[in-house]
Structure 1
């Protein structure tokens, strides 16, 4: 991917694919592309057309936000929301640990 604004999409597609326990071959077949092309998208050496990106997102059963978090301006808000959801799903003891760590990181960043 030559356009820097697209960096991160391939990595996110790969993560979503792995989370879905799919191989490149399985996803490529569902989308109707070659696994070589999917591999190039994941390595970020090729940029998918919008139509292909939509097919990938639908085949993975994820939201576009999951794939575009790193490239859209509101991505940070969406990422914060996803992190909040993940923290909420932890047991209370683990939630407190994570929140203490985040507090320390924020305090350091504000110095």
Structure 2
């Protein structure tokens, strides 16, 4: 398992939510140092800690484990779909053209 990649996604989700490591730690009931080692990929969190982090950050476990779990790609597709829905029509068309060009 690529703990570093998972930690980086946790950090990105935390930052997107506007939380500091200290704030996340308080909400999950772990130490800020523990958050730091998880985000650096030095330590893999226990399942209950991982679930608490995902819930506090309001992200799916799939989005955090996308390159670890074989079926997590379905979660990534759902996340992409959600992000596209938020865009204006012109931006949707532009993004879809870029994706189509990348697939070809």
Deviation at 1:65, TM superposition (A): 2.2
Query: Under a length normalisation based on structure 2, what TM-score does the superposition of the two structures give?
Result: 0.87
Aligned partners of 2:51, 2:82: CA distance in 1, in Å? 24
Greater Cα shift, 78-87 or 20-29: 78-87
Secondary structure of 1:46's match? coil
Q: Is the 8 A contact 1:69 1:78 kept in 2?
A: yes
Q: Which has the higher contact order (CA 8 A, sep 6+)?
A: 1
Runs of at least 5 residues in structure 1 that lack an aligned partner in the other structure:
none
Match of 1:84 in 2: 81
Q: Is the 8 A contact 2:3 2:43 kept in 1?
A: no
Deviation at 1:58, TM superposition (A): 2.3
Runs of at least 5 residues in structure 2 that lack an aligned partner in the other structure:
none
Match of 2:65 in 1: 68
Match of 2:28 in 1: 31
Query: Under a length normalisation based on structure 1, what TM-score does the superposition of the two structures give?
Result: 0.82
Deviation at 1:6, TM superposition (A): 3.9
The change in CA–CA distance for 1:52 and 1:36 in structure 2 (over 3 A counts) is same
Deviation at 1:59, TM superposition (A): 2.2
Aligned partners of 1:78, 1:63: CA distance in 2, in Å? 8
Secondary structure of 1:8's match? helix
RMSD: 1.6
- The structure having more radius of gyration, on CA atoms, is 1
